[in-house]
């Protein structure tokens, strides 16, 4: 086990180990115009000063000059620097460090000579997306093979130069070694004799090292992205500047869809120094209908002007919609047997319920949840030499580029996204819709426009996590054995709205959003089993549903694992034992290579381990309880087995639940970057607490009521509990870590509340007032 006790760090010296080269120039983060974001260019700055006239091109020339580039994924330069190209977004998860480790381990590079280059959009990188906990999982094998290819080529050239055969050589820390001879990678590159390139087919056949020979993966090493973030060199979207640009702040209409501007009065805004004009946007892509943008010399002026501009809108059809209407529509759809798509239909579910000795049924609700990332969304757009450049932080370049091309009326190859670091992504920046109004404004003005949304603008335009309704049923025989289970889940579907090509085929015919149901395709053996996913059309029409860290699983697992707990208590069984009995690893739950080796047995393993380290069987003080939940993460084809025990104390006088401790065990296969893995799981767990107890909003009159952090109150530092976590020591395929812990914490807390005070909460967020009413015998009814 890789074990992290409470408040410990996997790399306690990470900041010391990441100290910058003392010879590097002192650069101001906001002093450079750059499209390849941040830390990836540290090495270029140190080698030669960049021209402020066009640093993007200058940096590219430095990158390419005389380097050995066996694949597109990295270069070995003449000075021995290994520059790894990162086609993923850096938003605090250290993804560049993790991916560079994979390359460097196989390449046998010297970690002290590895640097990162965050690339802009180009078809050669394939689909550019950072989400779904996919990055390491998808990249591990191709990056390993790319690193292995370079190592083989360097060994072959080193052997030639030393006059020995390649099988007499080995590579270590940036050198090729043969007996008492050695030659550095830098010397080999400087010789100019190494230029081998590997085709895609050659790379796919490239063998990689066995786990026993790994030297960087899984061990302590400095995170390469931290120094620039801590000293201000890292560039975020808000830092982007180009010559001649103006600033814009949008005026967001009262509904997401169908609005139009009837009349606009900017007479009062003309008194603001620096204010220029207000544009009413015409959007062929229909991304921002009814938008206007105040243009000024500075953002301060644009912001002040926007507050004085009066707009008379014709709103869309959802101007009167509220939260309860969306939830009630979900209930109507669940009642309609023709709605939705059947995703799982194992065994004879109808017979299981017809023959049942007893049944259990429950409904679970989650309310609208917002992103509130630290950096509000923004984008800078300009046309240069016939190419539209979009400077912004974004998670899914490949998704928004076609929309930008449609909005601008140009071929897609005429649009390039210069991706900066993200001041928080969490799924919000998977939807790059905020770049569209910047591009439209720049086209209308004929000059670069830097569009910045205020916090309130950002939230009103958020691609929020949809409110959801789920209904669960379970059938039992006379011996309290589970014989059948049925799960209906309805919410707004992000994939249906934003990327319909990603919809999956259902068993019953029709297509469904896999990311709005993942987490419910569980590994339990429960007899007959049916799962139905239903798109809430009213939610889709009212707002643009989005992905929020852990995608569907964040709300789906709330129902699944709360219901499993209810079922365990119904039959009088320990909640962990109840689950373990059903994690049989039989049939389709046996698992398969390469990603799900072991199947349900690995989920059972983390569940047993969390029982061992969490004082599960200990007697708790009054009004304090332990609750458990488990998950396979987001997707069955890349399961991250996670189990959580939450210790919660309930104040009976106020109804306030306090999370005292969270214990987590995770099996993510090979852990590439332990310190980053710990940060991912810890951050996900804390967000799970926040979503369970602190966050949540509601719709009124077609808009969310909370637009800033004075009323929307995420987890505060004072509420952070003790966290203990372990990673299973494994050499299996590395899978995702950014999301699974988010999905288990909420139901573990709800189950702990029941263990503490006998009240079953079925709505997220869990509010103290609701819990107090339940304690006093009002709805929800306490379980007996």
pLDDT, tens digit (0-9, with 9 covering 90-100), for 255-285: 999 999 999 999 999 999 999 999 999 999 9
pLDDT bucket at 50, cuts 50 / 70 / 90: very low
Q: What is the pLDDT of residue 781?
A: 52
Hey, what are 411's tokens?
């071929």
pLDDT bucket at 664, cuts 50 / 70 / 90: very high
Q: What is the pLDDT of residue 686?
A: 98
Q: What is the pLDDT of residue 65?
A: 79
What does the pLDDT average to over 594-616?
97
Q: What is the pLDDT of residue 284?
A: 98
Q: How far is CA 606 from the centre of its chain?
A: 23
pLDDT higher than threshold 60 for residue 379: yes
User: pLDDT per residue over 725-775, tens digit each?
Assistant: 999 999 999 999 999 999 999 999 999 999 999 999 999 999 999 999 999
User: pLDDT per residue over 171-219, tens digit each?
Assistant: 999 999 999 999 999 999 999 999 999 999 999 999 999 999 999 999 9
pLDDT bucket at 419, cuts 50 / 70 / 90: confident
pLDDT higher than threshold 90 for residue 625: yes
Hey, what are 178's tokens?
């043969």
pLDDT bucket at 2, cuts 50 / 70 / 90: low
Q: What is the pLDDT of residue 361?
A: 98
pLDDT higher than threshold 80 for residue 49: no
Full-model pTM = 0.92
Could you give the dihedral angle defined by the CA atoms of residues 649, 652, 655 and 659, in that order, rounded to the nearest 10 degrees? -10
Q: What is the pLDDT of residue 27?
A: 36
Q: What is the pLDDT of residue 234?
A: 94
Q: Which region holds residue 341: left if phi is over 0, alpha if psi is between -120 and 50, else beta?
A: beta
Q: Exposed e or buried b for every residue in 136-163, given b needs 16+ CB within 10 A?
A: bbbbbbbbbbbbbbbbbbbbbbbbebbe
pLDDT higher than threshold 70 for residue 598: yes
Q: What is the pLDDT of residue 5?
A: 59
Q: Is 759 exposed, middle or buried (0-12, 13-18, 19+ CB in 10 A)?
A: buried
pLDDT bucket at 6, cuts 50 / 70 / 90: low
Q: What is the pLDDT of residue 51?
A: 27
pLDDT higher than threshold 90 for residue 14: no
**Calpha distance 34→30 (Å, rounded):** 10
- Judged by average pLDDT, the poorest of 24-38, 568-582, 668-682 is 24-38
User: pLDDT per residue over 105-131, tens digit each?
Assistant: 999 999 999 999 999 999 999 999 999
What does the pLDDT average to over 234-261?
97
User: pLDDT per residue over 319-360, tens digit each?
Assistant: 999 999 999 999 999 999 999 999 999 999 999 999 999 999
H-run or E-run covering 533: strand 528-535
pLDDT bucket at 47, cuts 50 / 70 / 90: very low
Q: Are the CB atoms for 440 and 288 separated by under 8 Å?
A: yes
**Calpha distance 542→520 (Å, rounded):** 25
H-run or E-run covering 333: helix 323-335
DSSP-assigned states of every residue in 164-220: S-GGG-EEETTEEEETTEEEEHHHHHHTT-------HHHHHT-----GGG-SSTTS-
**Calpha distance 151→135 (Å, rounded):** 23
**Calpha distance 1→666 (Å, rounded):** 10
What does the pLDDT average to over 125-149?
96
Give the mean pLDDT of the chain. 92
What does the pLDDT average to over 663-680?
97
Backbone angles phi, psi at 55, to 5 degrees: -65, -25
Q: CA of 6: how far to CAs of 219, 285, 441, 649, 693, in Å?
A: 20, 49, 50, 19, 21
């Amino acid at each position: 086990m890789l074990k992290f006790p409470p408040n410990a760090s996997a790399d306690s010296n990470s900041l010391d180990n990441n100290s910058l080269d003392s010879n590097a120039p002192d650069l101001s983060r906001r002093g450079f115009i750059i499209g390849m974001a941040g830390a990836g260019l540290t090495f270029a700055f140190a080698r030669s000063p960049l021209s402020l006239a066009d640093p993007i091109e200058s940096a590219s020339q430095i990158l390419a000059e005389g380097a050995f580039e066996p694949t597109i994924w990295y270069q070995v330069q003449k000075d021995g620097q290994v520059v790894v190209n990162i086609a993923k977004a850096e938003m605090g998860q250290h993804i560049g460090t993790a991916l560079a480790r994979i390359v460097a381990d196989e390449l046998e590079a010297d970690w002290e000579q590895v640097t990162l280059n965050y690339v802009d959009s180009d078809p050669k990188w394939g689909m550019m997306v950072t989400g779904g906990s996919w990055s390491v999982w998808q990249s591990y094998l191709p990056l390993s093979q790319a690193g292995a290819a370079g190592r083989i080529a360097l060994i072959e050239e080193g052997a030639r130069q030393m006059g020995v055969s390649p099988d007499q050589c080995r590579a270590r820390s940036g050198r090729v070694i043969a007996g008492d001879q050695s030659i550095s990678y830098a010397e080999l590159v400087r010789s100019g004799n190494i230029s081998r390139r590997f085709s895609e087919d050659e790379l796919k056949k490239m063998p990689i090292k066995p786990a026993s020979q790994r030297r960087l993966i899984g061990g302590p090493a400095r995170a390469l992205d931290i120094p620039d973030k801590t000293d201000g060199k890292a560039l975020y979207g808000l830092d982007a500047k180009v010559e001649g640009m103006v600033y814009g702040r949008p005026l967001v209409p009262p509904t997401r869809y169908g609005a139009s501007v009837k009349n606009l009065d900017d007479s009062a805004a003309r008194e603001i120094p620096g204010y220029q004009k207000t544009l009413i946007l015409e959007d062929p892509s229909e991304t921002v209908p009814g938008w206007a943008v105040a243009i000024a010399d500075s953002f301060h002026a644009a912001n002040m002007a926007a507050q004085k501009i009066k707009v008379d809108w014709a709103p869309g059809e959802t101007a009167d919609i509220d939260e309860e209407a969306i939830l009630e529509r979900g209930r109507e759809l669940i009642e309609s047997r023709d709605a939705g798509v059947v995703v799982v239909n194992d065994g004879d579910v109808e017979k299981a319920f017809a023959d049942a000795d007893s049944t259990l049924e429950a409904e679970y609700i989650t309310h609208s949840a917002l992103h509130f990332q630290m950096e509000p969304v923004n984008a800078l757009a300009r046309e240069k030499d016939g190419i539209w450049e979009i400077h912004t932080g974004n998670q899914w370049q490949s998704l928004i580029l076609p929309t930008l091309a449609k909005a601008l009326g140009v071929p897609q190859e005429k649009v390039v996204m210069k991706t900066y670091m993200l001041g928080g992504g969490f799924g919000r920046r998977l939807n790059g819709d905020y770049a569209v109004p910047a591009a439209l404004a720049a086209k209308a003005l004929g000059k670069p426009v830097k569009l910045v949304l205020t916090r309130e603008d950002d939230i009103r335009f958020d691609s929020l996590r949809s409110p959801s309704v789920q209904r669960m049923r379970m059938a039992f025989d006379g011996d309290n054995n589970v014989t059948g289970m049925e799960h209906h889940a309805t919410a707004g579907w992000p994939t249906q709205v934003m990327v319909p090509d990603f919809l999956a085929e259902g068993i019953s015919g029709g297509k469904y959003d896999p990311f709005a149901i993942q987490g419910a395709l569980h590994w339990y053996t429960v007899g007959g089993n049916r799962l139905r996913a239903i798109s809430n059309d009213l939610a889709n029409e009212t707002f643009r549903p989005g992905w929020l860290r852990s995608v569907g699983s964040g709300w789906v697992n709330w129902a699944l694992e709360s219901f499993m707990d209810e079922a365990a208590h119904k039959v009088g069984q320990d909640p962990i034992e109840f689950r373990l009995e059903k994690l049989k690893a039989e049939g389709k739950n046996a698992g398969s290579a390469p990603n799900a080796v072991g199947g349900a047995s690995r989920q059972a393993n983390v569940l047993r381990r969390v029982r061992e380290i969490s004082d599960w069987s200990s007697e708790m003080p009054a009004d304090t309880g332990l609750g458990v939940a488990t998950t396979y993460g987001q997707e069955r084809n890349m399961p991250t087995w996670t189990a959580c025990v939450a210790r919660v104390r309930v104040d009976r006088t106020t109804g306030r639940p306090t999370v005292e401790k969270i214990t987590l065990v995770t099996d993510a296969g090979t852990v590439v970057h332990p310190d980053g893995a710990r940060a991912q799981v810890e951050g996900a767990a804390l967000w799970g607490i926040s979503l369970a107890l602190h966050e949540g909003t509601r719709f009124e009159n077609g808009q969310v009521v909370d637009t800033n952090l004075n009323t929307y109150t995420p987890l505060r530092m004072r509420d952070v509990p003790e966290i203990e976590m372990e990673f299973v020591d494994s050499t299996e395929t590395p899978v995702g870590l950014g999301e699974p812990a988010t999905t288990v914490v909420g139901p573990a807390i709800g189950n702990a509340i029941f263990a503490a005070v006998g009240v079953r909460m079925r709505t997220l967020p869990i509010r103290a007032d609701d819990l107090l009413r339940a304690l006093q015998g009002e709805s929800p009814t306490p379980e007996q």
